Amino acid sequence: MKRIITLLPLLLFVIGATAQKNGVAVVDMQYILKNVPAYESASEQLNQVTQKWKKEIDASTAEAKSMYENYQTELVFLSKEMQVKRENEIVAKEKATADLKRKYFGQDGELYKKREALLKPIQDEVYSAVKSVADAGGYSIVLDKTSAQSIVYVGAKSDISDEVLTKLGYAK
């Protein structure tokens, strides 16, 4: 019994050292990216271009709506041919607006391409820094605590976010 009590602290130390060596670390990607000026600048550029495109789409939508309202008002005065012509114009404007939305905000739209061009290099640099810090610290798994909803508690020693910022050259 004495022997077990004597070996227990040693066993706990070995388990703790092994867990640290092959352990899990956590980063806060929002915190890291917020402290990388290039990321903030790229995000602001994306926001500006997004607002510009939204205004363009809103103007096109408003124009189509106005065309429809005018059509409704003048409907009784229009010949059958003019009605068809105006309806086709309205449908064409609505289709052009939908095409514009798809062009800018679609799956492979301009926003996606611009985001890839501006943010991906920064994200790749952060990923490389995380990998480097994890390798140096002997961590086999690194979780993002902002996106991992199942993480209930993270000890301060497990958070390597500041080390990643230091590796990127943005020491806190």
Q: In the chain, how many domains are there?
A: 1
Residue 88 lies in a domain: yes
**pLDDT tens-digit map of 115-167:** 999 999 999 999 999 989 988 888 888 888 887 665 655 566 677 888 888 88
User: Is the distance from CB of 61 to CB of 101 less than 8 angstroms?
Assistant: no
Residue 37 lies in a domain: yes
Q: Which phi and psi (to 5°) does residue 24 adopt?
A: -110, 135
- Per-residue pLDDT at 155: 62
Separation of alpha carbons 104 and 46, rounded Å = 12
**pLDDT tens-digit map of 45-66:** 999 999 999 999 999 999 999 9
Residue 76 lies in a domain: yes
Separation of alpha carbons 77 and 81, rounded Å = 12
Q: What does pTM read for this prediction? A: 0.67
User: Is the distance from CB of 64 to CB of 97 less than 8 angstroms?
Assistant: yes
Residue 116 lies in a domain: yes
Q: Which residue range forms the structural domain that includes residue 107?
A: 19-168
User: Is the distance from CB of 132 to CB of 25 less than 8 angstroms?
Assistant: no
